[in-house]
């Protein structure tokens, strides 16, 4: 994944000024939060979550429900 230096923000600054993180996401599409000088977290718009992630969540939930019902 290519990371633009324009979207990097330290975890300390993110904690003190989360509105700056939100502004970065609005302007650039994502913000990368650094911890110990390494990329640790990415913040993106909720609407930009890939559909594949939603499908995986639904499949996991379906499997969990099946396993729970099998235990009863």
Put simply, whether the predicted model's pTM sits higher than 0.85 gets the answer no
Please give the residue range of the domain that contains residue 36: 5-71
| 72 confidence band (pLDDT: 50, 70, 90) | low
Give me the pLDDT at residue 49, please.
76
CB burial of 17-30 (b: ≥16 within 10 Å; e: otherwise) equals eeeebeebbeeeee
CATH number at residue 61: 3.40.1620
Domain count, the chain: 1
Tell me the pLDDT tens digit for each residue of 4-58: 788 999 999 999 999 999 999 999 989 999 999 999 999 998 888 776 566 677 7
Stronger pLDDT, 13 or 60, i.e. the higher one: 13
């Amino acid at each position: 994944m290519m990371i633009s230096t324009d979207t990097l923000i330290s975890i300390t600054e993110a904690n003190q000024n989360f509105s700056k993180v939100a502004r970065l996401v609005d302007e650039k599409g994502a913000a990368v939060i650094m911890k110990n000088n390494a990329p640790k977290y990415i913040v993106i718009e909720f609407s930009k979550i890939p559909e594949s992630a939603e499908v995986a969540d639904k499949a996991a939930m379906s499997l969990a429900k099946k396993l729970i019902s099998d235990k009863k």
